[in-house]
Amino acid sequence: MRSAYLNVALFAALLIAFFVLVGEAVTRISGLGGSVATVAGVNPEAGESIFWGKGKCGTCHHIGGRGSAVRCPDLDGIGALAVERAAELTAGGSTMSPTDYLVQSIAEPSTYVVANYKDEMPKAYEPPIGLTAEEISATITYLQTLGGEADAAAITLPDAVRQAAAAASSGSWTPYIEGNATVGEYLFYDRQGVATCVLCHTSIDKDGVERGGDVGPVLSHVAGVRTPEFMLRSMLDPSAEIASGFEQTLIITTANQYEDGVKVREDEASITIKRMQANEVIEITVQKDEIRKISNQTLSAMPGNYTDLLTVQQLHDILAYLMTLG
């Protein structure tokens, strides 16, 4: 009998270890690996923990080889780059210190948008991220160290940031009807179903495995950076706001052939795009000397007729699943 109990205990320990390893692997794949331990106070260590953890900054930004390398700028060296940006803005008539620039980038990200990127960064002090004033200040001290030195005393947050928590608690948008996350996950991953989200998007399934296509944005942590209202609106009207790096490119060749898709590579001689075709991702490379015209499109590659393909309940089931991906 004692031997049987020992065998059960050993099996349980091995099972727990397996899931821990799987969890770590998923984190590495998503680019959010590393130290995300909880650290208190306004200091670079706490800021680093928040950047890669609660703040979800690594979902869109990268620092060197860590984080997302598609949607938003590389922040490696941002502490030094902030000096240059502040000088540029001051020369343009705005009196600003490097720390003021970092504060503005988080508090009012739409004020200055880096060239070749979109105005799509959420305000980290609003839902669903909801960082406190202290957490934002800590994150700024971490950014200061990326090419400079931390100076918490130089940080002055706008009143809007400090008042955000109270404003958010006054009321928030909720889905029209209750969705079933389990059904939503099935709809998401069903390659032959009505939604087929998995063909273009990567997400985390019920077993903790990150899988899916790469024609559309990675959704593995979408609930951590986007509100339910934003996610539902993106399903109903996907062309209203297209994520950076996933715009459609239309190429018309000298032979009058039309090719469209998401641009994945470009060099001096050619351009390569990819798109879904017959439920498979294909890549098309066109030589530049064979291109008559090339233009960016305002329509998303994501179908805009989900209101016809899905019932209201199915839309909310998928939304319920996406809301679990924090």
Higher pLDDT, 326 or 172: 326
pTM beyond 0.85: the answer is: no
Measured between alpha carbons, how far apart are the two ends of the chain, in Å? Answer: 43
The predicted pLDDT at position 41 comes to 85
Average pLDDT on 120-133 reads 86
pLDDT at 168 over 60: no
pLDDT band at 303, cuts 50/70/90?
Answer: confident
pLDDT > 70: percent of the chain: 85
Cβ 259 vs Cβ 253: under 8 Å: yes
- For residue 286, the cross-strand partners are 271
Give burial (CB, 10 Å; 0-12/13-18/19+) of 121: buried
- For residue 282, the cross-strand partners are 275
Tell me which residue of 237, 209, 226 sits closest to 326, measured CA to CA: 226
pLDDT at 72 over 70: yes
Say yes or no: do domains 34-168 and 181-240+304-322 share a fold: yes
The residues, ordered by sequence, that sit 6+ positions from 172 with a Cβ below 8 Å of its Cβ are: 127, 227
Cβ 134 vs Cβ 42: under 8 Å: yes
pLDDT digits (tens, 9 = 90+) for 175-208: 888 999 999 999 999 999 999 999 999 998 888 8
Query: How far is Cα 82 from Cα 100, in angstroms, rounded to an integer?
Result: 9
The predicted pLDDT at position 310 comes to 93
Query: How far is Cα 17 from Cα 325, in angstroms, rounded to an integer?
Result: 23
pLDDT band at 10, cuts 50/70/90?
Answer: very low
Cβ 137 vs Cβ 157: under 8 Å: yes
pLDDT digits (tens, 9 = 90+) for 208-224: 899 999 899 999 989 88
pLDDT digits (tens, 9 = 90+) for 214-254: 899 999 989 888 889 889 999 999 998 888 888 999 999 99
Q: Does domain 181-240+304-322 bear CATH number 1.10.760.10? A: yes
Would you list the domain boundaries of the chain? 34-168, 181-240+304-322, 248-296
CATH class of the structural domain 248-296: mainly beta
Q: Does domain 34-168 bear CATH number 1.10.760.10? A: yes
